Structure 1
């Protein structure tokens, strides 16, 4: 099968992705083999390619927002028959035994593994995944529109839970890419007032089109104090900006897996009056199921730019340069 691998992690201009031929993998016990229809391009893939996220194995195939069909099941698979349309997401496996797993926080499992990092992902014709971590998907939606839901949607949903937005509250969203534009729509559907702060004029226009109450520059002050905020941009310098915009008792959730250095915080301006700063780490399967159920109840507008499979390197380069709004998706 054709596949893209991270051959030499480094700046995207150094072309760290390399196209190659690999054997079709065989599903192991409890795994399914999935034939890929589409795979969205995530900023985490960019971090992996550039080395911000250290590779865990040489020659990894990136991609963890995969839509496809079960081609075969390995030993002990019982739930997903061949032909079933499925989604493969970031979380690949957890131990199920540690104290984090036992208390429902499997996203914190020290033995957790991840699609497109610990095991080959969706920048290929096929991939394998544990059946218990694969999501059944509807038949009636285009693969291009479903793929971003599997990470951008799910992680945005977890970030929304982590920011403790009260019912009918005022939410600030910093950065407005693939995850943010999906999260904003869920928050608006649930009655929130959403203010978007982002450097991209095109993203500001998209935000207003999707129902945001306002859209300003990344370092601007929102028109009213915020009950909660989510930082999607991997820019640590925006942490104090967002904290300063919070009302008393507000919470800022940082959604990315990688963040540049955070400047020094001023306790009284940024944290006093019980403002809270939280990180977001991966997701649980319950988050995935919860978000996909919400997306079925409130179908989002998914802004996508389709790239052919053989242009994966160009898609990552365009993501790094901010040349599109929404989500890039590799389609086969």
Structure 2
């Protein structure tokens, strides 16, 4: 049987691009309830970088990263009626959950102890072909380019959940720390909801992009915003910024930490950082309800997705560029 190509994390923690290697695999066969998807585009997420750098230990040998996947269904494994060959679909970070535990039964499947994740527990989208659970796959519209849809499937969805967790009041003042793939989509979402957005990030190019997208201000990551914040989201995986962001909150404000990995948080001073009912929250993955809600909102508001395109054959280069902070916006791998 003809094979197919995929990138794998062969040496987690190796410097830059040497962590990845291209391999040949047999074409996978979809089982019951599964879809075989021909990949058109896959976003390059910082979680993929954490996997390659060894911050997240791979859960399967020679794991293929990638969880912002746009493609078309080649074959179905039966026992599902929602998708057919030729459908345009998206596969995201949450790949499956048990459906029976207390978390799943109460709409919190992102906390399911048996949850599995695309590009971590299962092979992901740095490949020509992908197997996906039909129950956790999204229908996608036909019109937008694949490279604009791909980042919505993690950067957008996780940002949406982070914004919910931050409990930004209507018309509130939001601080965004770090301004990469997820942040530039989340800032636009907040702006469409009437928020005032202040961006705090070390990259001058990212600050220019933030202002172009409508941010009220854009300053250095450790600078104070021009006014107290009702809510803040930390996208940069830098624990040192937690007390900085908490200090910027107004009374009753909430800081949501959006990343799956964060460097150590310095000691917090209760009076300075948490008193006056300031809150610190984490964000863990997403639910399918989050995904459906965000994709519907994005279809209405059409966010400007700032894409840097790479051929799938250059996935190692894209990941190295992300590691070196050479990407403003989001990197996307294209198979065509």
TM-score range (shorter-chain normalised) is over 0.9
Matched, 1:122 2:125: yes
- Match of residue 185 from structure 2: 182
- Match of residue 299 from structure 1: 302
- Match of residue 271 from structure 1: 274
Taking the aligned partners of 1:186 and 1:131, their CA distance within structure 2 comes to 28
Taking the aligned partners of 2:70 and 2:123, their CA distance within structure 1 comes to 15
Taking the aligned partners of 2:38 and 2:70, their CA distance within structure 1 comes to 8
Please give the secondary structure, in 2, of the residue aligned with 1:15: helix
- Match of residue 282 from structure 1: 285
Please give the secondary structure, in 2, of the residue aligned with 1:25: coil
- Match of residue 246 from structure 1: 249
- Number of aligned positions between the proteins: 332
- Match of residue 235 from structure 2: 232
Q: Deviations over 1:62-103 (max 9, x none)?
A: 000000000000021211010000000000000010000011
Taking the aligned partners of 1:217 and 1:179, their CA distance within structure 2 comes to 18
Please give the secondary structure, in 2, of the residue aligned with 1:262: coil
What is the deviation of 1:57? 1.1
- Match of residue 223 from structure 1: 226
Contact (CA 8 Å) 1:12, 1:316: kept in 2 or not?
no
TM alignment of 1:1-332, pairs within 5 A:
1-13=4-16, 15-332=18-335
Contact (CA 8 Å) 1:32, 1:77: kept in 2 or not?
no
Taking the aligned partners of 2:108 and 2:35, their CA distance within structure 1 comes to 25
Contact (CA 8 Å) 1:39, 1:66: kept in 2 or not?
yes
- CA RMSD across the alignment: 0.7
Contact (CA 8 Å) 1:39, 1:63: kept in 2 or not?
yes
State TM-score, norm by structure 1.
Answer: 0.99
State TM-score, norm by structure 2.
Answer: 0.98
What is the deviation of 1:11? 3.6
Taking the aligned partners of 1:12 and 1:328, their CA distance within structure 2 comes to 19
Contact (CA 8 Å) 1:231, 1:239: kept in 2 or not?
yes
Alpha-carbon distance change, 314 to 14 in structure 1, aligned in 2, over 3 angstroms: closer
Q: Which runs of 5+ in 2 are unaligned?
A: none
Contact (CA 8 Å) 2:17, 2:317: kept in 1 or not?
no
Displacement over 6 Å in runs of 4+: none
What is the deviation of 1:38? 0.4
